Structure 1
Amino acid sequence: MTSAHHVPGSVPPPPEASSQGPRAVPGVPPQGPPVQGTLDDLGTPLAEVTFVVVDLETTGGSPAESAITEIGAVKVRGGEHLGDFGTLVDPGGPIPPFITALTGITTQMVVAAPRIERVLPAFLEFARGSVLVAHNAPFDIGFLKAACAKLEYAWPSFPVVDTVDLARRVMTRDEVPNHKLATLARYFRTATEPCHRALADAKATVDVLHGLIERLGSFGVTSLEELKGFAKAPTPEQRRKRHLAENVPSAPGVYLFEDADGEILYVGKSTDLRTRVRSYFTGSETRWRAREMVGLAERVRTIVCATGLEAEVRELRLIAEHKPRYNRRSKFPERAIWLKLTAEPFPRLSIVRECRDDGAVYLGPLSSSRQAEEAKAAVHEAIPLRQCTQRLSLRLVEQGKGRVCALAEIGRCGAPCVGHEDQDEYAEHADAARAVMQGDVRPVVAAARLRIARLAAEYRYEEAAAQRDRLAAFVRAAARGQRLAALARLPQVVAARPAFDGGWELSVVRYGRLAAAGTVPPRAAPRPYVDALIATAETVLPGAGGAPGAMTGAGGTGAEEMECVLRWMDGPGVRLVEVEGEWTCPAHGAESLRGWIDNAYAAVDPSER
């Protein structure tokens, strides 16, 4: 009789076949026939997941500057409705008119509503243990996280699902033109129509979520884990085009995505081109516009730059020149906003989008139309310039054909339109406004502070805050304009900044425009490199009149380019090698007040800024 020996670590021989079935192994319970695992074994089935679909209404778009006015949420599991949560929230201040027009929520409606301090704990309890769902989740979740941080609550580790991301993956352009909630609600025929009210929009999002989950089945998504990873996984197009990043160098520079016809789709910059370009073909790139762009791209072209500053400036110039369809930032820098004191017999303030050499005085560029309106109002509070839009010629005034406005009737305007002020008298106001816009901001600051103090003494705090915002807008705009104008006046500045490898980064700036960039190797004598860079730098001509060339220069990128240069010069260890001309800001300019304004806002509650 022979016996088989099992070698440790090897696979034991199978039991001998028997007509009486498998042979039992001593000490091991009998096992049934093998069963194939199901997809449900891979994670939590979607039918067992509790979703809380949430929607917020707010006073604005930024959690740092706005507050929640309404929270609506619906809890569902397996298609079953489990509960609703809905309440108005007192934001602690007035609701802007455009928000009221959009949502129908008025200041009177929220006066008696609970504050977020009472609402947030109740909502967190309602949503505990669930998966949060929102349409454009970064917006709603951002406000909720900001509220938790303000109230010193730890943000629960909610899994988050964004129905916008899901819709972008499973809906085609032939089915829906965009992925807005109203569009998807019409497509899925939701029982509730979204109307910019929190609970109604949350109910509509529930139906959209269910419609999207039905479609996810065809992609093999049946569990929560697969759902969370589905929207973030690289698309087939991203995987297929990874070869486009193969020959990209590891150096600072600019990259350009181009389609088959050579059209530039997108321009970007990076201190490491290879790492940045490769990220477009992985799951780390979650922006749907970037994914769509990768699907159209057929090649990636790179421009290696000497320094990060050169890459940043080249990116601005290329975007302004080609206006790629997938770039949102800086596509139209020539459309900057300016506050203009017109050149006419009776000058007035006007908000324009072009800075010309027409004898007028310009303040700017300003960051937005709202900032321009606030700055304009601050000047009007201090100087009685006419605010009417009619063009007043001397002949029109002499003939008495001007129209008297309401401001003249209440003494806020000298009424030059009907001859109550002659040209010489009105010129004093125009000269004062010109001095304020060109350097001495003290009259505007003094008038604003006087009004703020008076309103605060009368307990009219909302009006005082409005005056504060006007003053802040003016000071920031004036400081920016004066700082840029000072750089734009300099024929040449040569600066050096320490590099990471122990050498130096060099920049030659002429009239605010980056004319050359280079580097000095470690332990090398810098002067020969500086001289060579100056000799090969671009020739830049000064601007004409009151519009410095760099402010409105080639491609219209002047102001943004100068801000890049100034940020670079503000870096640690920067040395000024050469300065041609006088680099100064006005003695009584706005730059000295910018820190004062920032400190005043630092003590303000973020929801009231």
Structure 2
Amino acid sequence: MTGAQLTFDEIDDDLPLHRTTFVVVDLETTGGSAQRDAVTEIGAVKVRGGEVLGEFATLVDPGCEIPPMVVSITGITGAMVHGAPRFDSVLPAFLEFSRDSVLVAHNAPFDIGFLRAHCERLELTWPKPQVLCTAKLARRVLSRDETPNHKLGTLARVLHARTTPVHRALDDARATVDVLHALLERLGPLGVRTVPELLAHLPDVTPQQRRNRGLADDLPNAPGVYLFRGPNDEVLYVGTASDLRRRVRQYFTAGERRGRVREMAGLAQRVDHVECAHPLEAEVRELRLLGAHQPRYNRRSKFPKRTWWVVLTEEAFPRLSIVRSARDGALGPFRSRAAAAEAVETLQAGTTLRRCTERIPARNPSGRPCAVYELGRCAAPCAGHQSVEEYAPQVVTVREVISGGPAGRDAEHGLLERLHAELDRLAAEERFEDAAAARDRLAGLVRALDQAQRWAALAAVPELVAARPDGAGGWQLAVVRHGRLAAAGNARRGTPPMPVVDALQAAAETVLPEPGPLRGAPADEVRVVHRWLTTGGTRLVRCATPWAEPAGSAAAWRTWLERATQARTPYPAAD
């Protein structure tokens, strides 16, 4: 079948299988953990109505050594992937290739798990496609007499696939296409005509899920937020979708594999929704509803105020402290106290700030030096060996590094430079494990500083208006005040955008700044707003004050951070 590919905004749930676009994908990786291992090759085939519409294939540099056992299975060696693109550049291209399609994979939890994990790692939005697993479908369609097992190689032989799988991504994807078509042919006589019917035909859809499928019937095909409500009208689960009706229906099919969520879908009595102007508004509303209702079936972002901050105490000889409430000059936010403690340890390693928690008077201290003094990591202000004036430069350095000020860029006295020099010293002494640990601590600190400085710069702006192309000749518009979304709207193709901007500004939510780097805005909301503003071709329309991120301190170390994270050698040189 030929013709333009239909998007999910144009597709209804009665679209027959022969008019549905499938993207069959296969990954080769360095191991079986989506969190620890990396992709070495990706191959995908886009098909509709039995016709191949396109193919996507590339080797991927995993940024690490490929285990010998994996090499023996796939034949992919380190020399083959040398110079290949990294997955952070491949994944956006694949997401565009597979946009508005049903994703298909053999043993889909493995391949889709890697794709989702890397989306989260790269802060890319996972499009939440419908997913079909050919291994699971084969178990439903084929009897034990027809196939001894459901491995891809066995199914390709039993179903007479034109391509033999050889543990290479594109060949295996092509073989999976043939397996998929053979299985779909078996389902035709059984009355399976559409994707929802196909997913519902799989064996692990519970009776409760099937019973509740009608809860999605009255939802619109529009972006927004949905709320599953239980028997007592309590909110069970909150989610966001670019197409509310399509997304909610997926909870009642075999495409939903999460046990807790399937349980939730069976308990639900109704589904409420809030239509949104565009995906940014939907994401922000989802975060706010999660914080307001704290649904028991959601796992993330339910407690927006559960963050940790690193601050300098207010006393004659300040020290670093970990607190729960943000204040001006704080470093954060951190999602765990352990992460904040690691940042404190790294900052202390680059300074002689005191570690002890006792209050030291500005004059005539009467303490005794401790072991830290003997190790040269503290000048013992507690024993009067250092005056307030002599101690002050260490405090200034830390404050400047946190804020992104000039002391963080000082090549001679900069804290980050001193930490890197220590890393070099350990490597020169061939203490490679210690050097790797020091590298990881420095990378973690640079990452935390860079994020904090970027978010703080956004939260400092009283108001800005931004526009992003909607892909159809119009604009998605957002009014942001102190890092929070204050208003959202659209200027469709042919509509003058500036009158819409004026109306949005006039009706936007009032935001009063509070103390702290984020001016009281929840960290998750600042994160999604910042990501929207800095990706996707978003443009600034108006800005009350200049929005500028620090170019020094952590920003100057971004290239080093990328190499430290991705390079095969664990000790990249500083710029």
Taking structure 1 as the reference length, the TM-score comes to 0.60
| Residue 421 of structure 1 pairs with residue 421 of structure 2 | no
CA distance in structure 2 between the aligned counterparts of 1:116 and 1:573, rounded to whole angstroms? 39
1:358-373 to structure 2, matched below 5 A, reads 361-373=329-341
The answer for the alignment partner of 2:483 in structure 1 is 512
Off by >3 Å, runs of 4+ in structure 1: 58-61, 118-122, 157-161, 229-232, 367-371
1:461-472 to structure 2, matched below 5 A, reads 461-472=432-443
Q: CA deviation at 1:405?
A: 2.7
Helix, strand or coil: the match of 1:335?
Answer: coil
The answer for the alignment partner of 1:338 in structure 2 is 309
CA distance in structure 2 between the aligned counterparts of 1:304 and 1:543, rounded to whole angstroms? 30
Q: 1:365 to 1:64 in 2, by over 3 A?
A: farther
Q: Provide Cα deviations, 1:282-313, integer angstroms capped at 9, x if missing partner.
A: 11111001011112211100000011100000
Task: Report how many aligned residue pairs link the two structures.
Answer: 402
1:232-381 to structure 2, matched below 5 A, reads 233-356=204-327, 361-381=329-349
- Which of 370, 373, 386 pairs up with 1:405? 370
1:590-605 to structure 2, matched below 5 A, reads 590-604=554-568
The answer for the alignment partner of 1:444 in structure 2 is 415
The answer for the alignment partner of 1:458 in structure 2 is 429
Q: 1:268 to 1:454 in 2, by over 3 A?
A: same
Q: Provide Cα deviations, 1:36-63, integer angstroms capped at 9, x if missing partner.
A: xxxxxxxxxxxxxxxxxxxxxx999932
| Residue 578 of structure 1 pairs with residue 542 of structure 2 | yes
CA distance in structure 1 between the aligned counterparts of 2:234 and 2:214, rounded to whole angstroms? 19
Q: 1:353 to 1:308 in 2, by over 3 A?
A: same
- Structure 1 unaligned residues grouped into runs of 5+: 1-57, 66-91, 94-114, 125-133, 147-156, 162-228
Contact 1:493 1:579 in 2 (8 A): yes
Amino acid at match of 1:580: A
The answer for the alignment partner of 1:540 in structure 2 is 511
Contact 2:465 2:541 in 1 (8 A): yes
The answer for the alignment partner of 1:103 in structure 2 is none
Q: 1:323 to 1:314 in 2, by over 3 A?
A: same
- Which of 368, 374, 392 pairs up with 2:359? 392
The answer for the alignment partner of 1:567 in structure 2 is 531
CA distance in structure 2 between the aligned counterparts of 1:249 and 1:439, rounded to whole angstroms? 46
Q: CA deviation at 1:342?
A: 1.6
Q: CA deviation at 1:516?
A: 0.1
CA distance in structure 1 between the aligned counterparts of 2:560 and 2:337, rounded to whole angstroms? 24
Q: CA deviation at 1:369?
A: 4.2
Amino acid at match of 2:401: V
Amino acid at match of 1:409: E
Helix, strand or coil: the match of 2:255?
Answer: coil
Q: CA deviation at 1:332?
A: 1.4
Q: Please, which moves more after superposition, 483-492 or 445-454?
A: 445-454
Amino acid at match of 1:566: H
Q: Provide Cα deviations, 1:328-361, integer angstroms capped at 9, x if missing partner.
A: 111112111222222222211123332146xxx3
Q: 1:118 to 1:237 in 2, by over 3 A?
A: closer
Q: Provide Cα deviations, 1:15-50, integer angstroms capped at 9, x if missing partner.
A: xxxxxxxxxxxxxxxxxxxxxxxxxxxxxxxxxxxx
Helix, strand or coil: the match of 1:334?
Answer: coil
Helix, strand or coil: the match of 2:553?
Answer: coil
Q: Provide Cα deviations, 1:380-416, integer angstroms capped at 9, x if missing partner.
A: 122100112x231418x7462x453311122210111
Taking structure 2 as the reference length, the TM-score comes to 0.64
* Aligned Cα root-mean-square deviation (Å): 3.6
CA distance in structure 1 between the aligned counterparts of 2:353 and 2:490, rounded to whole angstroms? 51
CA distance in structure 1 between the aligned counterparts of 2:553 and 2:252, rounded to whole angstroms? 49
Q: CA deviation at 1:160?
A: 8.9
Q: Provide Cα deviations, 1:107-135, integer angstroms capped at 9, x if missing partner.
A: xxxxxxxx95259969x9xxxxxxxxx9x
* Higher radius of gyration, 1 or 2: 1
CA distance in structure 2 between the aligned counterparts of 1:252 and 1:118, rounded to whole angstroms? 45
Q: 1:486 to 1:463 in 2, by over 3 A?
A: same
Q: CA deviation at 1:589?
A: 2.8
Q: 1:444 to 1:232 in 2, by over 3 A?
A: farther
Q: 1:59 to 1:285 in 2, by over 3 A?
A: closer
Contact 1:335 1:354 in 2 (8 A): no
| Residue 63 of structure 1 pairs with residue 36 of structure 2 | yes
Helix, strand or coil: the match of 2:330?
Answer: strand
CA distance in structure 2 between the aligned counterparts of 1:384 and 1:299, rounded to whole angstroms? 59
Q: CA deviation at 1:367?
A: 4.6
| Residue 498 of structure 1 pairs with residue 475 of structure 2 | no
1:515-530 to structure 2, matched below 5 A, reads 515-530=486-501
